[in-house]
Structure 1
Amino acid sequence: MTPPKGRRRLHLAAALDQPSAYDAGSYVDAARLAERGGLDFVTLGDGFGRPGPDALAVLARVASATRRVGLVPTVTTTHTDPVRVQAAVAALDLVSRGRAGWRIEVSAAEAEARLFGRHHTASAEELWREAGEAADMAARLWDSPEDGADIPDGACGRFADPGRQHPVDCTCSRFRVRGPSTGPRPPQGHPVRVVDATGKPARAVAALHADVALVRTAHPARAAAARAELRASAAAHGRDPDALRVLAALDIDLGGGEYAARPGHGGGGPRPTPRGPLYRGGPVDLAELIAVWHREGTVDGFHLTPAEPRRDLERLVNGTVPLLQHRGLFRTFYPGSTLRDHLGLRRPANRDAVAGGAS
């Protein structure tokens, strides 16, 4: 279902994190369930100091078992080579036929720094500045080959048209990158970049580079203020603010039955906890919460992390989503085949090809 003219499209995403699961099959099942509900994308967390499988590898496996849902792994920029990071995300976009995203994250833990032979980690401001540089470098490398520049002709020893490749030579605070990307331009041009913009250092990176910004708060007024700030900052950087989606990030516990809003949750609303904002109640009240926040223009949608992965994702897809569809707030089918299609985002033009044509 397409929203009526003048009504903003509602976006929904869910986390697939399953702390004790190492079998790819459980992630495949969860992603298929999310796809059945028409969710825009699923995320999978990762980090150097946490247990669990590699998020990129798992979602590459999920890609072959799904057809529409977007796939967004967390890939940390700290202690990593940005060339390898962008190549891995581009490869996921290729194997999923344009459904990949990249949740940009940093590593601030001293224990994780020691894994790489470093005694101390940098400040949050410096880490996120590096993350912004890595995000910009990734976009430059994704644009270094023009669309259709790849020529898979091993007999001639050529795999790309040199006239349609553009050099990249950039020095940043921690690395220097030279030369074009060795792979083709991703199907989406730029895989979708996602940033948790709750903290101030990350918010600056989100305004400049993100397609989707997540904001963790239990208070709708604060979410609305964060959205307004992000859009204004994006515009100040010369970006179209309508090309930035801002989603409220909530943990959800749907174990209480149909309604069953717990005391202190404001009739089904979220409340602050040490881990972040938590909604505890039933699928019906969750649908009402989503409808109210979206109707009031608080956010563009929600990123939901189930407290009990299988149970809460099932109740979200089978309970909350149909109620939102019945109200005409959420689609009943995917509008296209790529994650950018789902989010209503244009495919970015290749900046090097445009500049070359202009000259």
Structure 2
Amino acid sequence: MLHLAAALDQPSAHDEPSALDPPSVHDADPYVALARLAERGGLDFVTLGDTFARPGPDALSVLSRIAPVTGRIGLVPTVTTTHTEPCHVQAAVATLDRVSRGRAGWRIEVSSTEGEARLSDVVARLWDGREEPRPPQGHPVRVVDATDGPTRRTAGRYADVVLVRAVSPAQVIAVRDQLRRYAVEFGRDPDALRVLASLAVDLGDGEYAAEPGHGGGGPRPTARGPLYRGGPVDLAELITSWYQDGTVDGFHLVPTEPRRDLERLVNGTVALLQHRGLFRTFYPGGTLREHLGLTRPAIRYETTEGAS
């Protein structure tokens, strides 16, 4: 099944100075409207970056506000372990999983050092302390951007969903093959990895109107990463081609203008993919793991009956 996700914020500020949320956006209300729109389109999940990359409220706080007013869509904040202790990260993400009734994920900012990468495993072990206080999904879904080479080993070992920024199917396939090898090396089922192509999208140019090099020809490389610029119909063609060729499991789409682009994505691209039978028209389950076809992890630490 094709998986689709979207960012609630624009491409990060360090990639392009103009790619900031509007300065007036300092509360959760605009994000609530965007998340409801994405849910209406049946998207698997939405992501939101941390406050180090954009002005406004903390991503966890925003998505905790969104959780009670949505019912199905997954909620994935960026939470860094560099600035937050693992025990606080696990508690915060577990709380989001509970208030959303099993729809939380965690986008992990991974450095190239193995020591920091292992912090994500520390968090998972804290979730496994006892069955009773575990989050509804066991482990909220872990999302890692594995575009850069040093992060791929970490993604193969710990991630459930892997984002890859690439301008061609060949680039994605090369990364995907490497991720699968790492997964096998660490005793994981490589088929349990969900690999999504991550693209910035600018849907402001009409229904078709893909510029040369965009649309069916693929996204263009830019300073902020791969960019598709055109219309929602040509974006549907790109998504269909990459998915049906077996290149990716789906797409993570980052709007250049969130309100405009997400509306055109849902009403145009998603509607066309649904018409073709490539994307869901309703959520068959309630948790993010169910949306992604992932099983609930077994608890690692079993206690014997009667143990103190």
TM-score higher than 0.5 here?
yes
Separation of aligned partners in 2, 1:68 and 1:254: 25
Amino acid at match of 2:6: A
Query: Which residue of the partner structure matches residue 125 of structure 1?
Result: 112
Does residue 145 of the first structure (1) align with residue 130 of the second (2)?
A: yes
Separation of aligned partners in 1, 2:52 and 2:28: 19
Amino acid at match of 1:76: T
Q: 1:81 aligns with which of 68, 79, 85?
A: 85
Q: 2:5 aligns with which of 3, 13, 31?
A: 13
**Contact kept in structure 1, 2:236 and 2:270, CA below 8 Å:** yes
Amino acid at match of 1:82: P
User: Structure 2 regions of 5+ residues with no counterpart?
Assistant: 11-20
State the secondary structure of the residue aligned to 1:71.
Answer: strand
Q: 1:40 to 1:49 in 2, by over 3 A?
A: closer
Pairwise CA distance, 1:132? 2.3
Does residue 43 of the first structure (1) align with residue 47 of the second (2)?
A: yes
Q: Runs of at least 4 residues of structure 1 off by over 4 A?
A: none
Does residue 262 of the first structure (1) align with residue 211 of the second (2)?
A: yes
RMSD: 1.6
TM-score w.r.t. the length of structure 2 is 0.92
State the secondary structure of the residue aligned to 1:351.
Answer: coil
Pairwise CA distance, 1:50? 4.0
Separation of aligned partners in 2, 1:266 and 1:304: 14
Q: Which aligned pairs between 1:172-321 and structure 2 lie closer than 5 A?
A: 184-265=133-214, 267=216, 269-321=218-270
Does residue 54 of the first structure (1) align with residue 58 of the second (2)?
A: yes
State the secondary structure of the residue aligned to 2:301.
Answer: helix
**Contact kept in structure 1, 2:3 and 2:292, CA below 8 Å:** yes
Which has the higher Rg, Structure 1 or Structure 2?
1
Q: Give a deviation string over 1:196-226, Cα, whole Å, max 9, x none.
A: 0001221111100000000001111110111
Pairwise CA distance, 1:49? 5.8
Pairwise CA distance, 1:229? 1.2
Pairwise CA distance, 1:256? 0.6
**Contact kept in structure 2, 1:101 and 1:192, CA below 8 Å:** yes
TM-score w.r.t. the length of structure 1 is 0.79
Count of aligned residue pairs for this structure pair: 294
Amino acid at match of 1:281: G
State the secondary structure of the residue aligned to 1:274.
Answer: coil
Separation of aligned partners in 1, 2:216 and 2:39: 29
Query: Which residue of the partner structure matches residue 94 of structure 2?
Result: 90
Identity value in percent = 71
User: Structure 1 regions of 5+ residues with no counterpart?
Assistant: 1-8, 107-123, 150-183
Pairwise CA distance, 1:267? 4.2
